[in-house]
Amino acid sequence: MSLLFFFANRFEHPAGGYRKLFETCEELSETIPATVTGRIPSFLKGSLLRLGPGLFEVGDEPFYHLFDGQALMHKFDFKNGQVTYFRKFIRTDAYVRAITEKRVVITEFGTFAYPDPCKNIFSRFFTYFQGVEVTDNCLVNVYPIGEDYYAVTETNYITKVNTDTLETLKKVDMCSYVNINGVTAHPHIERDGTVYNIGNCMGKGASLAYNIVRIPPTQKDKSDPIDKSKVVVQFPSYQRFKPSYVHSFGMTDNYFVFVETPVKINLLKFLSAWSIRGCNYMDCFESNESQGTLFHIAKKNPGEYIDLKFKGAPIGMFHHINAFEDQGFIVVDLCAWKGFEFVYNYLWLANLRANWDEVKKAAMLAPQPEVRRYVIPLDVHKEEQGKNLVSLPYTTATATMHADGSTWLEPEVLFSSPHQAFEFPQINYKRYGGKNYTYAYALGLNHFIPDRICKLNVKTKETWVWQEPDSYPSEPLFVQTPDAVDEDDGVLLTIVAAPGAQRPAYLLILNAKDLSEVARAEVDHVNKSQLKCLSLNCQYW
């Protein structure tokens, strides 16, 4: 029986079933049928792809961080009211070499790859100076570029996959096409298929900056759109050799929004420490406690950076929810973590696999999550010092000009509950991406453990929750009904792990209006492995 209630009521998890989310999972040799309860909506035709970590140790060597697990792709196919399921590891260099050598070969987010013990000290010494070997472990997202699909992480490598067979086709280095050191796993995709993304780069005067990259849609001559990638605008970096960690960005009809947080990558440490003594990505993060948060905007077409200074209190931020323009303002909704500490410090596998009391104890020390709305005025005048520049009637967010010419932004809090995060947000993106909207959907994290699906009305702050005991969903994906009138006419798709159930995992379909259950497609226990549902993003087509 599903429960619908406000965030204040929640389940505890003393049995620790969530640990199954962080166990190695075997891939399948063939597609298997799912057992359907309820009725699959007739408009669900095609496939749901989902990515996440699926291999958490190689031989006797464990991976240590949630984002180190090797990429496993899941696929649910919908046809004639029936559902089938398949999964396969992406054959990245990181995965293939690890399986071949039975050890961690390429350094991951929180796991350092030690040199081959069979090599002598001199060969190991020279190996250190061959440069940083960046991982291609594409466990975060999958999205289309032209007529192709790519599995991605946050480095410069993206991996082309066959969405029918889940075969790995080729590895692509984005550095070969544009001035970029890496790109995020959360691009914006326009209706015609144009892809926009952001990543840090080497800018003017050998200082770091952030480039917005545009990849055009499918070409008439069938050539690869990646060949025509180009930088459309550049944002400056607050610190010359310490770029901020960037996980996503905002885009409206006419503007890009980049939020520069105080969580920094120490580039000099990355290059020197990695090469000489060995470290992982996590070792290279630090916080600039004095920076606060900087909000940058740029015109989209033609790309032009707007040199206005917008500042706010320090936050960590991974996911934008949406951004839109209204009456001379840009409204920016995002999932924030208060303060300057890096939230990934709390996502070590040892923390997540602990007993429930220890999980809660560790999460109590972490930054607190909030859903926030910031409003950026496009028309700023120095004579308006000390005055709230925001005149939109529906928000309490403010923007105040300071004497130094900067504008201080105070947010409106759309949702807040202690240690309960509204994260991995989704909206009705096809119709309301970059536009004034009402509803957001998300995965609810209870002390970092995913145990609910949430809906938020960003205008009234009303909330809805789906939750069942000992059940751990992945972030929801909104699919609009073909004849939709209202913004929330559609369904949410999520994968739920239920470790104690007869069938330990299922695809769940919820009515996006009220989060009531429409149908579920359960997957049998196969090869003594659990279906991984803690996937970081997904694609439906």
Annotated binding-site members for Fe cation: 186, 247, 319
Distances (CA, A) of 193 to 23, 215, 231, 524: 36, 9, 17, 37
Q: 218 with 192: CB under 8 angstroms?
A: no
The residue among 231, 197, 232, 229 whose CA lies nearest residue 215 is 229
Q: Hunting for tokens 């990695």 — which residue is that?
A: 274
Residues in the chain: 541
Supply 283's token pair.
């070792």
Q: 491 with 513: CB under 8 angstroms?
A: no
Q: Which amino acid is at 26?
A: E
Which H or E run contains 94? Answer: helix 93-101
Residue 222, number of CB atoms within 10 A of its CB: 8
Q: Hunting for tokens 């987010």 — which residue is that?
A: 109
- Binding-site annotation: residue ranges: 186, 247, 319
Close Cβ partners of 83 (under 8 Å, ≥ 6 residues apart)? 33, 34, 36, 40, 76, 77, 507, 521
Q: Please tell me the distance from the alpha carbon of residue 256 to that of residue 116, in angstroms, as a whole number.
A: 45
Q: Hunting for tokens 């900087």 — which residue is that?
A: 294
Distances (CA, A) of 421 to 87, 257, 313, 449, 533: 29, 23, 19, 10, 18
SS3 content of the chain, % helix, strand, coil (to 5): 15, 40, 45
Which H or E run contains 432? Answer: helix 429-432
Beta pairing partners, 213: 197, 231
Q: Hunting for tokens 């990543």 — which residue is that?
A: 199
Distances (CA, A) of 70 to 21, 51, 140, 186: 14, 10, 10, 19
Task: Determine how β-strand 407-410 pairs with β-strand 304-312.
Answer: parallel
